[in-house]
Amino acid sequence: MAYTNTVLNRARARLTAENERKRAEYEDHLARAYALRPRLKEIDRSLRGTSARLAGLLLRHEGDPAAELAKLRAENEALQSERQWILDEAELPDGFLDDSPVCTLCGGTGYVGSRMCECLRELCRQEQKRELSALLPTGRERFDNFSLELYPDRFYPGLGDTARNLMQKNLHFCKKYAQDFQPGARSLLFSGATGLGKTFLSACVARQVAENGHSVVYVTAGKLFADFEAVKFERAEAESLRDYRDCELLIVDDLGTEMTTEFVKAALYEIVNTRLLEHRSTLISTNLNENDLEARYGGQIASRLLGGYRVVYFLGDDIRRMRK
């Protein structure tokens, strides 16, 4: 499971902070224990001394190592039990001088060999959730909150069905898509007029896919192109676009509402084409239909979108207008 750089960096920073906090707490406790029972400090110093002598002994290979070893071991044990006796007598709380790492599986590094440890993975999940919550429009975006009653139950001859039935199928499809999502899943194009719930449904997909532990980036088309422009005019590092390239699901909302310049077309082509070639899933929502897409962005982009993506049509009356 791959997390974006932004999420991974934040999770790592939290793990580092947690390590530092634990270390500082231990040092504070140790200083307090020494202040309370100065003999502890002497014992700890002696213990470090016996450990060093033990190591030296093992390297030297001369004299009678066995006898010396036994002597050192006895000294060590005596010191340890005196230490424990002092700690018990001082009635320090359990674990007061515990200096074990924040995670015993990885020692607080976040990795076991080359594999990400569960502790860092959990921090990534939390950071991904926080990141996405900040980006999603309302915070209500869950499939259960999607109301089909807002779609007209009347028959559309061109469709051969009612808008409500169509939306019911869309809802079912999107739910299943999000639940079963695996990296490389087919990309989607949500097409339909403004106010038909495209943004809402794409945000539901974002939330569910992220909750299943995949990296998801949600961005409006306006923000996406503004970020590309900032890199082009060197107001930002190229690195800042990395999440758009690397995430397992990129959701671009409201394509077609931006000022479409030649630069925008080139950026869109780059993102759509690169992600298709690298088998990374993308969900684009747009108020443009097939013909509008071609007219606005050119045949090359339109054919990538219509050929490489599964198109999901939205139909009905403007929900936002009806709610008012």
Interaction site with Zn ion (CB under 5 A): 103, 105-106, 117, 119
Minimum Å gap between C-beta 26 and Zn ion is 18
Note the Cα 4 to chain centre separation in Å.
Answer: 6
Q: Which is nearer to Zn ion, 103 or 132 (CB)?
A: 103
Q: Which is nearer to Zn ion, 104 or 291 (CB)?
A: 104
Instruction: Tell me which residue has tokens 């309302």.
Output: 138
Task: Tell me the sheet residues that pair with 62.
Answer: none
Minimum Å gap between C-beta 303 and Zn ion is 47
Minimum Å gap between C-beta 72 and Zn ion is 34
Dihedral of the alpha carbons of 250, 251, 253, 257, in degrees to the nearest 10: 20
Q: Which is nearer to Zn ion, 11 or 117 (CB)?
A: 117
Q: Which is nearer to Zn ion, 128 or 220 (CB)?
A: 128
| Cα gap 134→6, rounded to integer Å | 14
Query: Are 218 and 253 spatial neighbours (Cβ–Cβ below 8 Å)?
Result: yes
| Cα gap 256→323, rounded to integer Å | 24
Minimum Å gap between C-beta 105 and Zn ion is 4
| Cα gap 214→227, rounded to integer Å | 23
Instruction: Calculate the alpha carbon distances from 285 to 99, 260, 310 in Å.
Output: 52, 16, 12
Instruction: Tell me which residue has tokens 């190229």.
Output: 238
| Cα gap 104→28, rounded to integer Å | 21
Instruction: Tell me which residue has tokens 């949600």.
Output: 218
Minimum Å gap between C-beta 23 and Zn ion is 16
Q: Which is nearer to Zn ion, 106 or 264 (CB)?
A: 106
Minimum Å gap between C-beta 109 and Zn ion is 7
Q: Of 203, 202, 68, 74, which is closest to residue 133 (Cα–Cα)?
A: 203
Minimum Å gap between C-beta 117 and Zn ion is 3
Pairing relation of β-strands 111-112 and 115-116?
Answer: antiparallel
Instruction: Calculate the alpha carbon distances from 266 to 50, 212, 225, 305 in Å.
Output: 69, 33, 10, 14
Q: Which is nearer to Zn ion, 1 or 105 (CB)?
A: 105
Q: Which is nearer to Zn ion, 19 or 240 (CB)?
A: 19
Instruction: Calculate the alpha carbon distances from 324 to 164, 287, 314, 319 in Å.
Output: 20, 21, 20, 9
Minimum Å gap between C-beta 129 and Zn ion is 19
Q: Which is nearer to Zn ion, 103 or 217 (CB)?
A: 103
Instruction: Calculate the alpha carbon distances from 209 to 62, 275, 310 in Å.
Output: 65, 18, 18
